[in-house]
Amino acid sequence: MTEQRKRIVSVGEVMIEMTRGSDGRFALGCGGDTFNTAVYLARAGLDVAYATALGDDLYSDAILALAGAEGVACDLVVRMPGRLPGLYLIETDAAGERTFYYWRDHAPARELFELGEWSRLAASIMSARLVYFSGITLSIYSNQGLGRFLALLEMARQNGVKVAFDGNYRPRAWKGDIQRTRTVFMEALKRVDIALPTFDDEALLWGDPRPETTVERLQSFGIAEVAVKNGHNPALVTGGEGSEFVAVPDVVKPLDTTAAGDSFNAGYLAARLGGETPVDAALAGHRLAAEVIQHRGAITPRKNAAVH
């Protein structure tokens, strides 16, 4: 395996994050579902690059500085002069559940696969070890961008690249157009090797009554490996022989559930790429997510985010 083939490419959007603390004040950071996963994969010692587009402003500089400090490669980040990254604000209730408010309609990440530099990105994806993206990734692109991205995934898989996907369905991001969402998801699922959905999202988008239904539907697309996250409930994992529920080792009271699923995905993928079974990988995902939800914001202090 070449050095570049060892690389994971995570695709999506990273934004400026404002999180309200217990004193009512907001702390400034950054996050985005696939970016969060990239950071936690890098902390696990994996070679990870993040693919997105940013502006040429001070906040975009700060995002790149954080990524660099975390060991996430930024050579697949396109800079767009005069543009600004998206912004989101998190309000958290007493149970640690979040409400998000977004300002992102003109974020440069939306145009990633319509820029002249997209061919350079395509070459890196074609030679990756694994490509990771989400339903949020899909929601930001135009039909032209989606067409290029999905075609690229198809070619990459033919070239031996593995593809991992978290549905991460957010109705507002799709402007309530559930039919278009399902159509795009179905096209994406034809190009996926590892699915990492959250049951609540699948129930909302597809009407799944139970995690087993989610697994069966995803398997119908030819996806052999599925790990269905379900909050503090056991995850349902399938891969190899049969399916198995994997309980959360230690249920903790969350301070902030931001990036719970993103960090589970990182723990799971890091373990799988390290040769562990899907069940052991789910346990690793549970443990990392339990660490992350005890801190505010998407990216925890480094000392608290080790993958076990």
For residue 105, the tally of other CB atoms under 10 A from its CB is 8
* DSSP-assigned beta bridge partners for residue 164: 132, 194
Structure tokens belonging to residue 292: 């992350």
d(CA 114, CA 214): 33
User: Angle CA(149)–CA(150)–CA(154) in degrees, nearest 5?
Assistant: 120
Catalytic residue, from 33, 47, 166, 262: name it: 262
For 151-255, list the strands marked E by DSSP: 162-166, 194-195, 225-228, 235-238, 243-246
d(CA 116, CA 53): 12
Structure tokens belonging to residue 267: 């723990």
3-state secondary structure of 189: helix
CB 78 within 8 A of CB 117: yes
d(CA 79, CA 37): 21
3-state secondary structure of 201: helix
Assess whether 201 carries a catalytic annotation.
no
Q: Which residues are catalytic?
A: 262
